[in-house]
């Protein structure tokens, strides 16, 4: 019988890959905690309207990439392609719109039906942070600083640069949109078919086009800076000042945009060349209209998301697997005593293992194979003295340690 394989675009995460993956998530989680963020866990599937309403009916995610199905009750459900919408839905569903600010961290699987490639899967893991409630530029800078600190603690800061832009307020964005329409309409025949369609529906998304002909036209297009209202310009100045005070380096990129109307002011991306071509490893922005799309009140919010797989690929080395200690009993009486010793060490937080069978030679071979740092040898003679012989498998030295002192002796 042919063995079954994982579905295309999914993978098993084992060994070094698993340790890289876990290291990224745990580092992000612990760093977010120092900023006062609490972790939320939302369902991996939602009412389809949660995403269709917030990602835009014409977006590629909604039209091409969502895993949507009708359940046995006739409801349309979707595996979450991202989690910002789910967090905002949870805020409203749980009556938390009057308990602001909310600092939220999340980590978990997302699903998109897209072409699998390096660092991109149909089931992938994201970490993210959302700061809901504050309308001040400091909130934008703080959420960005959190992202920078996570990348720094992962050892990736040297290979990553923060790119920053503003989308302005509604008045700024409307004036900018009109200028883009005028510019691209002049060159309509040179646009790709997709961008011609976007020109009529969502012209800002043309700035995201990867088509070479579109890119040339984008380079000559106006930037938003000339269309910023005084309040929008002051907000952007505030973000940049706070980032400087936080010690977060950045460069401005006027081509970073977000196509949906609930985005405003700050938009940013952390990009790297560590994956070959320049790639985004973390991206976010301010989305003051999204909570209202979920049926809540108008609520300021800013956040980011990052792909764990991409971050894990950038790590120089996989974290080492913790080395256990191996219990090696000699004789029946020692077997019984060894079980109690095994559990006592585990309860003291020490990774301890014991082979299920075999003589001393085979158990020692097993200990070396597992990379054990010490062998705890327990025989009749040791039991009579109330000690164990502890052999350091790195240095090769051996010493006797009282059974009651073993946990302290082995603590690292």
CATH of the domain at 287: 3.30.930.10
> Is there a single domain that holds both residue 135 and residue 254?
yes
Q: Nearest 5°: CA angle at 284, between 175 and 145?
A: 115
Note the pLDDT of residue 259: 67
Q: How confident is the model at residue 60 (pLDDT cuts 50, 70, 90)?
A: low
> Is there a single domain that holds both residue 106 and residue 145?
yes
**Residues in CB range of 305: below 8 A, 6 or more apart:** 82, 83, 84, 126, 127, 128, 282, 283, 284
Under a CB-based contact definition with an 8 Å cutoff, are residues 47 and 75 in contact? yes
CATH of the domain at 384: 3.40.50.800
Decide if 189 is inside a domain.
no
Alpha-carbon distance 314 to 376, whole Å? 38
Alpha helix ranges (H) inside 3-83: 15-34, 48-55, 60
> Is there a single domain that holds both residue 265 and residue 355?
no
% of the chain surpassing 70 pLDDT: 96
Q: What pTM did the predictor assign?
A: 0.90
- Tell whether the model's pLDDT for residue 58 goes beyond 60: no
Cβ density class 62-79: b for 16+ within 10 Å, e for less: beebbebeeeeeeeebbb
Domain residue limits at 24: 15-169+229-314
Partnered with residue 120 across adjacent β-strands are 117
Q: How confident is the model at residue 47 (pLDDT cuts 50, 70, 90)?
A: very high
What are the tens digits of pLDDT across the range 274-303? 766 558 999 999 999 899 989 999 999 999
> Is there a single domain that holds both residue 330 and residue 299?
no
Q: What are phi and psi of 143, to 5 degrees?
A: -65, -35
Alpha-carbon distance 151 to 274, whole Å? 13
> Which of 159-163, 200-204, 394-398 is least confident?
200-204
Domain termination site, one of 261, 291, 314:
314
Note the pLDDT of residue 251: 96
Decide if 219 is inside a domain.
no
- Measure CA of the first residue to CA of the last residue in the chain; give whole Å: 47
> Is there a single domain that holds both residue 270 and residue 389?
no
- Tell whether the model's pLDDT for residue 57 goes beyond 80: no
Kindly report whether the peptide bond that precedes residue 344 is cis, defined as omega within 30 degrees of 0: no
Domain termination site, one of 314, 337, 361:
314
Decide if 298 is inside a domain.
yes
> Is there a single domain that holds both residue 303 and residue 331?
no
pLDDT (mean) for 373-400: 93
> Is there a single domain that holds both residue 374 and residue 299?
no
> Is there a single domain that holds both residue 269 and residue 249?
yes
Note the pLDDT of residue 59: 62
> Which of 71-75, 116-120, 404-408 is least confident?
116-120
Alpha-carbon distance 15 to 21, whole Å? 10
Coil, strand, or helix at residue 131?
Answer: strand
* Number of structural domains in the chain: 2
Domain termination site, one of 266, 284, 314:
314
Note the pLDDT of residue 95: 96
> Is there a single domain that holds both residue 43 and residue 153?
yes
Decide if 195 is inside a domain.
no
What are the tens digits of pLDDT across the range 1-46? 899 999 999 999 999 999 999 999 999 999 999 999 999 999 999 9
Note the pLDDT of residue 109: 97
> Is there a single domain that holds both residue 351 and residue 299?
no
Under a CB-based contact definition with an 8 Å cutoff, are residues 391 and 404 in contact? no
What are the tens digits of pLDDT across the range 377-390? 999 999 999 999 99
Q: If 0-12 CB within 10 Å is exposed, 13-18 middle and 19+ buried, where does residue 411 land?
A: exposed
Give the CA distances from residue 148 to residues 31, 163, 306, in Å, rounded to whole numbers and listed in that order.
Answer: 10, 12, 12
pLDDT (mean) for 245-267: 89
């Amino acid at each position: 019988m042919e063995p079954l394989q994982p579905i295309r675009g999914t993978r098993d995460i084992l060994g070094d890959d698993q340790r890289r993956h876990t290291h990224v998530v745990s580092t992000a989680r612990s760093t977010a905690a120092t900023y006062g963020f609490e972790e939320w866990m939302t369902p991996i599937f939602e009412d389809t309207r949660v995403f269709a309403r917030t990602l835009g009916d014409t977006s590629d995610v909604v039209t091409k990439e969502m895993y949507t199905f009708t359940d046995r009750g006739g409801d349309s459900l979707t595996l979450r392609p991202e989690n910002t919408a789910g967090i905002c839905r949870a805020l409203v569903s749980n009556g938390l719109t009057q308990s602001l600010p909310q600092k939220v961290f999340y980590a978990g699987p997302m699903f998109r039906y897209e072409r699998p490639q390096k660092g991109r899967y149909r089931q992938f893991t994201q970490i993210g942070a959302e700061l809901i409630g504050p309308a001040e530029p400091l909130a934008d800078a703080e959420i960005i600083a959190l992202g920078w600190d996570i990348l720094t603690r992962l050892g990736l800061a040297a290979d990553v640069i923060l790119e920053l832009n503003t989308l302005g307020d509604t008045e700024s964005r409307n004036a900018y949109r009109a200028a883009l329409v005028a510019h691209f309409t002049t060159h309509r025949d040179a646009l790709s078919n997709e961008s011609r369609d976007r020109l009529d529906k969502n012209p800002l998304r043309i700035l995201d086009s990867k088509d070479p002909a579109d890119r040339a036209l984008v380079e000559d297009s106006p930037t938003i800076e000339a269309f910023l209202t005084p309040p929008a310009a002051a907000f952007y100045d505030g973000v940049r000042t706070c980032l400087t005070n936080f010690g977060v380096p950045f460069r401005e990129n006027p081509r970073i945009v977000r196509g949906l109307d609930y985005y405003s002011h700050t938009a940013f991306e952390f990009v790297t060349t560590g994956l070959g071509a320049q790639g985004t490893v973390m991206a976010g922005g301010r989305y003051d209209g999204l909570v209202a799309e979920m049926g809540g009140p108008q609520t300021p919010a800013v956040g980011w998301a990052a792909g764990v797989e991409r971050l894990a690929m950038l790590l120089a080395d996989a974290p080492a697997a913790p080395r256990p200690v191996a219990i090696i009993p000699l004789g029946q009486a020692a077997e019984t005593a060894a079980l109690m010793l095994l559990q006592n060490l585990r309860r003291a937080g020490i990774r301890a293992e014991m082979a299920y069978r075999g003589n001393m030679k085979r158990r020692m071979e097993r200990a070396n194979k597992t990379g054990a740092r010490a062998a705890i040898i327990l025989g009749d003679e040791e039991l009579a003295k109330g000690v164990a012989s502890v052999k350091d498998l790195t240095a090769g030295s051996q010493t006797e340690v009282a059974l009651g002192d073993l946990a302290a002796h082995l603590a690292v």
